[in-house]
Amino acid sequence: MMKIRPFVLIYLLIPALLWSQEDSTFKLNVNVDLTELHVSVTDEKDHPVGSLKKENFHVFEDSTEQKVTVFKHEDIPVSLGLVIDNSRSMEPRKQRVDAAALSAVRKSNPEDETFIVHFDDTARLDSDFTNSIPLLEETLASVKPFGQTAIYDALILALDHIRGARHPKKVILLMTDGVDNSSKHTLAEAIDATKKAQVAVYTVGLLSVSGGQKAEDSLVQIAEASGGRAFFPQTVEEASADMERVARDLREQYTLGYIPSNPVRGGQWRSVRVDIVPPAGMPTKAKLIASYRHGYYGPGN
């Protein structure tokens, strides 16, 4: 019997490997335009509604209903960015604010990964992605408040860094006590970056009198542009409860996926709307509140 040398066997396997790689790439390209929405649903008392099925959701893009091909309701891992105000005004409550931020992480999926961006006069990455709570605690405790408040720079830095995240589901939690007074970027630039990133941003404003309506409006605009939520607790203790609410929302979210019916590839903005039909047994007039991103930039050429 003729023997085939090992190197010949390797050579014969190469075409199969290449075919497998090409086939995998082809399948990936077919689904490259899949659009996913992460939707939180609560009732009038802000309690999560977890009994919904695929047929309870209707998704519209630019007023045209889409066919939902992906439906999940499960606790999937999250890549989370903590963006924490380190300005001088935070000093009296820094330890409690740090604890409030970590309360969301402690309620997380063990596979979640978290990074930390601090901001004062400038913004900086102080801890890269990790699932180590002790390391996050050490990072938060290592900084001392000073300077002013560069919120927009910090958000844009975090949005840029989260591009390298391991998980497709990405979230930023931004905590501040005032209005931006130090950023090189503008609010409009921060909102535009948020829309392009397709990352849910949850904002928490422990706002002082000096911050006022301007600070609140900016945090609301950022959250709404991303499909996140804005919270304005009166105390740090309330902020901690809000953080646990964010963690709960992330655990309870529905994932809806569809291939857009619009074939145009010009990178234009596309509006998105999700309508919810109450399930059988629930009053038809029941008020179900959905939080999700209300649009995205379509694929480019």
- Whether residue 20 is contained in a domain is answered as no
Instruction: Report the CATH number at residue 156.
Output: 3.40.50.410
Tens digits of residue pLDDT in 110-166: 899 999 999 999 999 999 999 999 999 999 999 999 999 999 999 999 999 999 999
Domain match, 181 and 278 both: no
- Whether residue 5 is contained in a domain is answered as no
Token digits of residue 300:
């480019």
Tens digits of residue pLDDT in 30-69: 445 899 999 999 998 888 998 899 999 999 999 999 999 9
> Which residues share a beta bridge with 72?
255
Q: What is the mean pLDDT of residues 81-93?
A: 94
Domain match, 202 and 277 both: no
Burial of 84 (0-12, 13-18, 19+ CB in 10 A): buried
* DSSP 8-class letter at 167: S
Task: Give the pTM.
Answer: 0.85
Residue type, 2: M
- Whether residue 194 is contained in a domain is answered as yes
Token digits of residue 18:
């290449």
Domain match, 163 and 52 both: no
Domain match, 125 and 195 both: yes
Domain match, 176 and 232 both: yes
Helix and strand numbers, DSSP H then E, in the chain: 7, 14
Domain match, 52 and 186 both: no
Domain match, 69 and 87 both: no
| Strands of 170-176's sheet in order across | 123-130, 113-119, 79-85, 170-176, 200-205, 230-231
Domain match, 202 and 106 both: yes
Domain that holds residue 230: 79-251
Domain match, 230 and 261 both: no
- Whether residue 15 is contained in a domain is answered as no
> Which residues share a beta bridge with 114?
80, 130
- Whether residue 18 is contained in a domain is answered as no
Cβ distance 199 to 226 under 8 Å? yes
Residue type, 11: Y
Split into its structural domains, the chain has a count of: 2
Q: How many CA atoms lie within 13 A of 169 on its CB side?
A: 23
- Whether residue 27 is contained in a domain is answered as no
- Whether residue 123 is contained in a domain is answered as yes
d(CA 67, CA 60): 9
Cβ distance 37 to 292 under 8 Å? yes
- Residue in the structure block whose two tokens are 């958000």: 155
- Whether residue 96 is contained in a domain is answered as yes
Domain match, 221 and 283 both: no
CA proximity to 270, closest of 279, 280, 258, 282: 258
pLDDT for position 209: 57
The confidence band for 207, taking pLDDT boundaries of 50, 70 and 90, is confident
Task: Share the mean pLDDT of the chain.
Answer: 87
pLDDT for position 223: 96
pLDDT at 296 over 50: yes
Domain match, 132 and 66 both: no
Domain match, 176 and 60 both: no
